[in-house]
Every structure is written in C-alpha cells, then in structure tokens.
Amino acid sequence: MCTRVAKPDGCYYLGPADDINKFMGPQKREFGPKTGLVLYQYCRGIDDRALRTERERKSVSAEINYGIRFTKESEMELFINELAEEVQKKTSGTRHEGQVHTLKACLGEAVSLSEVKKVISDWTEAYE
C-alpha cells in the first residue's frame, strides 16, 4: 500500500498513530470499509473463513517445462510413454478416468547443443 508513496527508494515509514490514520484515510476510500476490514484482519493473522480441505479436482496435468533433447526417436517414444503412464496414474480412480487424453508437444528448431541456451518443451494433456 505504500509503494506509490515510497518511490523512488521503496521505503515508507509510518510513525505515530496520527501519521497512520492520515495514511489510512485514503486507503479506506480506495478499498471500501469491508475490504479494508478484511485486509486489517489478514495483516494480524485473523481469518475466520472455513478451511476447505476437500476440493473437486478440475483437471489433471503433467508438464515438462524445460528443454529435452533426444538423439534417437526411440528415446522420444520412451519418454512420451512414461509421461502418459504418469497421467494415467493421476487419473486412475477419478472422474477423468476413461476420457480422451491429448498430449501436446512443442518442437524447437534443430540446433547443436552448444548453440542452445534454453529450449522449452511443453508437454500437457487436456480433456475433451
């Protein structure tokens, strides 16, 4: 909340209560009384919302977000099969079991390993 006031050094000191009240006045107008109260409580570790531990899983995914370079087609096939097995394990016993799985692969330009700084391969699956 102090970021605009604190520029350019990034620090803003709130001193005595009068200074705090002077600072908080515009914040109440900006956020409104309800949000202001919630933020006030959160800052003090007060959160009376019910804790939800059980949530319905909306999707299942397995992603590899770093460069993987294969030298042989058999290495690629093995990797894709292992990734598919991982997704199958995750979907086993869920409402996603038995649905269509899509595996997407992003291929980069073929260059030598010494030229590559970072190549990103993106592996995901979606449900239709």
Q: How many CA atoms are closer than 13 Å to the CA of 102, on its beta-carbon side?
A: 6
The enclosing H or E element of 89 equals: helix 73-91
For 90-125, the pLDDT digits (tens) are 777 777 666 677 777 666 666 555 554 444 444 444
Phi-psi region of 75 (alpha: psi -120 to 50; beta: other; left: phi over 0): alpha
Q: CA–CA separation, 35 vs 2, rounded Å?
A: 17
State whether the Cα torsion 106-111-112-113 is positive or negative.
Answer: negative
For 70-80, the pLDDT digits (tens) are 778 888 888 88
State whether the Cα torsion 68-71-75-80 is positive or negative.
Answer: positive
Q: What is the pLDDT of residue 54?
A: 82
Q: CA–CA separation, 12 vs 6, rounded Å?
A: 5
Residue 57 clears pLDDT 70, i.e. is over it: no
